[in-house]
Structure 1
């Protein structure tokens, strides 16, 4: 049986149950729109030039450097193949908008 942790809800009425792994992802993981400006310029340039391709190791390391471990459930995480990790379709669109200096936002309901 998985261990759970009781946490107060945002309105301090009742409690919310979170398993420890969910709690750690909530605290440590950042979303694309949060970590993007903190990436090295070379990583942002690569993501724009290679948008939709498998993320290379140096870009993945830079994302983890600024955003923490990559959460598999994040809106920007796409399919993982034998070649590696891809951005989601929504993230590919986001990167394109950022490249065009359109001030993109995360999709509604994104985490």
Structure 2
């Protein structure tokens, strides 16, 4: 599932955290909320960035998308 699909399913506090901390390590509690809406990420999931033990990052594509949302810019799908 793409970020455009699961983003509106997140609660507002999670969205706010992702906007305010865009590009940072995603805490496990936030990742759990994303997975609850988007399903477990696979190797070809577009919103998955670098993944090392104990750290999860969103992809550059997802980070850029969130930045557009934060700046009230229309997304590609709009």
TM range (shorter): 0.7 to 0.9
Aligned position for 1:62: 33
Aligned position for 2:50: 79
Residues paired across the two proteins, number:
77
Runs of 5+ consecutive residues of structure 2 not aligned to the other structure: none
Runs of 5+ consecutive residues of structure 1 not aligned to the other structure: 1-29, 107-111
Aligned position for 2:10: 39
Task: Give yes or no for contact 1:54–1:83 (8 Å, CA) kept in 2.
Answer: no
Runs of 4+ in 1 over 6 A off after TM superposition: none
Whose Rg is larger? 1
Deviations 1:7-43, CA, capped at 9 Å, x for gaps: xxxxxxxxxxxxxxxxxxxxxxx11110000001111
Aligned position for 1:12: none
Describe how 1:99-110 pairs up with structure 2 within 5 A. 99-105=70-76
Question: How much has 1:71 moved relative to structure 2?
Answer: 2.2
Supply the RMSD in Å over aligned alpha carbons: 1.5
More helix by share: 2
TM-score (norm 1): 0.63
